[in-house]
Chains A and B, each alone.
Chain A
């Protein structure tokens, strides 16, 4: 027994050795698998190249802008970018209601707003914060006008001390590097060559740290935004206040031993500065507007200082940020929840009425002889080729109380003259007009699916004894369901995003969420909120689509064939 066993094992091993002769090779000696893969990959690449124009087109004109727009729903860099120092200093503040931040925050605010108003960014921030806090818009506009006066306190005192400080040239001699000074003095604006870019003198930033940092901002602004000759430009009041701060700051010892250009004037200023009248930044801001002396504006700035915010999304679901976290808005400001629900409800109504009206039409189209079917088809498509606005406006004339429909009903005696039906400027109007407009989107898929149902099935059912209803319901209808599915998805998704028709015929109770999105895009300019509303709408549509796929199955949707 054991011998036989050994023999078989040996045989097996031999066979296995024979079978395993390495990977199969292609003609050129590379393994077949790899060579096949390569050929396939090449084919795929070629196919990809063919669709590349479309892919790039879709990416550039569709996906990228949508992604960019949706990104705005969380993006909130403007507060930090415009008020970098203030938002940082504001970390120290407890944020308790009824308190205001300490003096350093107001000073930082002065510096930020000064730079921002030169660049005309402060009003933009005001508009942004006005979405959250009423009054921020004019607060920032006023403050932008007022900051000039704050800094001039120091400017006047330095200039009164010595006329040396009045001249931009002198400041440049102190803060500019020798190499740059040599270049800028030769430069003429008329020559057309670019202005030599400002370069800081070595070591000066260690002696006047604050002045130097603002001087850089000032120089950059003058050279790149204003495009004036920096050498002749007199500095901003902000520079003087920073200069004063440096005099009283940690680098006093370094200033005392300073020996560069303007050393005598600097020594004189350093000696005089302790006697200068100082600025109470907080008082100055409260004088511009008393709102700076209250907590709401500071709470808002702090709540919206991170680069990203959930504020727009909270707003889009009728909530708001508060000291105790997100909470519902007061009842008289809640609107979006109602509108979302209304949009969904009315879209369902429109889809149902499209099915109701479209199904018989589709059936007739599919069962008539080709010539009459084509004629009817043109009637279905004709409204399709007419401008949307014209069709909607026509409904206005039809449905209004002194309109065609009501006149006819009164003439027929169906309704009394003094109780004409309200068919427009309400939900009824929107549903009627949108059903009409979207009907072709229901009829076409229905028709193309019904066309494929052989009439012999119905005949077969009847010859087997089915009644008309049973034959329709048990045999014909199930086969037309994919058409209903396709039409419903088309109509529902289209109607959920409609806004022109509801705007014109919807009055107050027949408008959709998209009307609010349009308002925030084109009127209030609150694009963040519009993006948040749009993102929610997109999510709802995708969610419904997913649910449809799970329940009905997207394979069961047919546009034809």
Chain B
């Protein structure tokens, strides 16, 4: 108890300090702490809107913290200690929903906080359905999909998701993520369940058994990954014949590292990544973050980001502005998960379903894995 009080007291002093600072220098903080994933993705953010913003505001500085993978837990700990040091946090949509549920992220009014499209379409329409939570400011659409070794699949490369489950036609190891999400859906889909019924089936214990049984047919040939970089490495080393990961990671294996790898877009699962603003920021820091986020998520900035990474911009109005890769000079549109050719058969991560069933199905999935 005492411990918390001390922390609270010290953070109150710190808070008072920043407030006094803000009063003396206008009402916006001069420093922002941005939290992201590190790697190529963070660098695309840095190039597309952080550096331009700092260029426009020479007295402001930004600090990156590569903690997005543990953002939910860390934010909760900061919140309990009463000292939130982050100003803007990049998280996947499922985490944004959870942070919103836990009261750790600030609810925002999209039309008020975010810039309208150049033609005047309000932000709430420009982002549309992608505003999956009241706290979430989407940036990109990415997908979890498969890549395969072109030199290990013979003359008939895989074209359907169910080829992943076909050990006879495509012998060898596969890499799947060490969590039930996505894998369960794919398993049901390849076990004859209609796409529209997948979640109804998965909600029942029998459906979960069914999915695990289907995954069981390839269990001995699966390497389970937990970091997004695992599958690209395994593919590059020829350790696996195919594996799931984020499409941007596969893009860099294929186009930047020129490995003999190709995409299997069938039944790719769309997911979103975006910002949340932590709840309870002091006024000066909040003002700065609001100013930044309005700039960083406008139509041009989101389109700019796609020059550096093959993730689709979350705004409708940004889509036509997607151009060429900044270094490779290749057209980015065909590499976007949202490109019509790639998006013939897609899934959208079912946030509500997984918010409810994650704990339950994960327990079963992990027990199944440990057997």
Residues of A within 8 A of B (CB): 60, 64-65, 68, 120-121, 123-124, 126-127, 130-131, 134-138, 141, 332-335, 338-339, 396-397, 400-403, 425, 503, 507-509, 511, 516, 521-526
Closest to A516 in B: B366
Q: Which of chain A's residues have a CB closer than 8 A to the CB of B284?
A: none
Known: A130-B356, A134-B359, A335-B366. A123 touches B101 (CB 8 A): yes
Compute how far the CA of A511 lies from the CA of B367 in the bound complex, rounded to whole angstroms. 12
Question: Could you tell me which residues of chain B, from 65 to 104, have a CB within 8 Å of some CB in chain A?
Answer: 69-70, 72-73, 76, 98, 100-103
11 further A-B contacts with Cβ under 8 Å, apart from A127-B98, A134-B359, are A68-B4, A124-B103, A126-B101, A135-B356, A136-B356, A332-B209, A401-B173, A403-B237, A425-B224, A509-B370, A526-B359
Compute how far the CA of A522 lies from the CA of B98 in the bound complex, rounded to whole angstroms. 12
Q: Which of chain A's residues have a CB closer than 8 A to the CB of B173?
A: 401
Q: Which of chain A's residues have a CB closer than 8 A to the CB of B103?
A: 120-121, 123-124
Known: A124-B103, A134-B360. A525 touches B369 (CB 8 A): no
Closest to B219 in A: A508
What is the minimal beta-carbon distance from B85 to any residue of chain A, in angstroms?
18
Compute how far the CA of A225 lies from the CA of B98 in the bound complex, rounded to whole angstroms. 22
**What are 24 A-B pairs with beta-carbon distances under 8 A?**
A60-B3, A64-B3, A68-B4, A127-B102, A130-B355, A134-B356, A134-B359, A137-B356, A138-B352, A138-B356, A332-B209, A332-B367, A334-B367, A339-B370, A402-B238, A507-B223, A507-B224, A508-B224, A508-B369, A523-B72, A525-B73, A525-B76, A525-B102, A526-B359
Q: Which of chain B's residues have a CB closer than 8 A to the CB of A507?
A: 223-224
Compute how far the CA of A525 lies from the CA of B369 in the bound complex, rounded to whole angstroms. 21
Compute how far the CA of A521 lies from the CA of B359 in the bound complex, rounded to whole angstroms. 13
Report whether B101 and A524 are in contact in the complex, using a CB–CB cutoff of 8 Å: no
Q: Choose from A134, A141, A508 the contact partner of B357 (Cβ within 8 Å).
A: A134
Report whether A333 and B363 are in contact in the complex, using a CB–CB cutoff of 8 Å: yes
Q: Which of chain B's residues have a CB closer than 8 A to the CB of A401?
A: 173, 239
Q: Which of chain B's residues have a CB closer than 8 A to the CB of A127?
A: 98, 101-102
Compute how far the CA of A64 lies from the CA of B3 in the bound complex, rounded to whole angstroms. 7
Q: Which of chain A's residues have a CB closer than 8 A to the CB of B100?
A: 123
Residue with the highest number of chain B CB atoms closer than 10 Å, among A120, A338, A503: A120
Question: Could you tell me which residues of chain B, from 306 to 358, have a CB within 8 Å of some CB in chain A?
Answer: 352, 355-358
Closest to B227 in A: A504
Q: Which of chain B's residues have a CB closer than 8 A to the CB of A339?
A: 370
Closest to A396 in B: B233
Report whether A65 and B3 are in contact in the complex, using a CB–CB cutoff of 8 Å: yes
Which 3 residue pairs are nearest across A and B when measured between Cβ atoms? Answer: A123-B101, A134-B360, A522-B73
Q: Which of chain A's residues have a CB closer than 8 A to the CB of B362?
A: 524
Known: A138-B356, A425-B223, A507-B224. A522 touches B367 (CB 8 A): no
Interface size class of B (residues with CB under 8 A): 35 or more
Interface string of B206-225 (1 = CB under 8 A from A): 00010000000000000110
Interface string of B158-188 (1 = CB under 8 A from A): 0000000000000001000010000000000
Compute how far the CA of A396 lies from the CA of B370 in the bound complex, rounded to whole angstroms. 21
Compute how far the CA of A121 lies from the CA of B102 in the bound complex, rounded to whole angstroms. 7
Q: Choose from A120, A131, A338, A516 the contact partner of B359 (Cβ within 8 Å).
A: A131
Compute how far the CA of A425 lies from the CA of B100 in the bound complex, rounded to whole angstroms. 36
What is the minimal beta-carbon distance from A514 to any residue of chain B, in angstroms?
14
Closest to B173 in A: A401
In the complex, whether B30 has a CB less than 8 A from a CB of chain A is: no
Report whether B72 and A522 are in contact in the complex, using a CB–CB cutoff of 8 Å: yes
Compute how far the CA of A209 lies from the CA of B209 in the bound complex, rounded to whole angstroms. 54
Report whether B101 and A141 are in contact in the complex, using a CB–CB cutoff of 8 Å: yes
What is the minimal beta-carbon distance from B219 to any residue of chain A, in angstroms?
9
What is the minimal beta-carbon distance from B353 to any residue of chain A, in angstroms?
9
In the complex, whether B364 has a CB less than 8 A from a CB of chain A is: yes
Q: Which of chain B's residues have a CB closer than 8 A to the CB of A396?
A: 233
Question: Could you tell me which residues of chain B, from 216 to 266, have a CB within 8 Å of some CB in chain A?
Answer: 223-224, 226, 233-234, 237-239
Compute how far the CA of A516 lies from the CA of B360 in the bound complex, rounded to whole angstroms. 14
Report whether B364 and A525 are in contact in the complex, using a CB–CB cutoff of 8 Å: no
Report whether A402 and B237 are in contact in the complex, using a CB–CB cutoff of 8 Å: yes
Q: Choose from B72, B98, B237, B367 the contact partner of A333 (Cβ within 8 Å).
A: B367
Q: Which of chain A's residues have a CB closer than 8 A to the CB of B368?
A: 332
Question: Could you tell me which residues of chain B, from 281 to 305, have a CB within 8 Å of some CB in chain A?
Answer: none
Q: Choose from B72, B352, B367 the contact partner of A525 (Cβ within 8 Å).
A: B72
What is the minimal beta-carbon distance from A142 to any residue of chain B, in angstroms?
9
Known: A402-B239, A508-B369. A524 touches B3 (CB 8 A): no
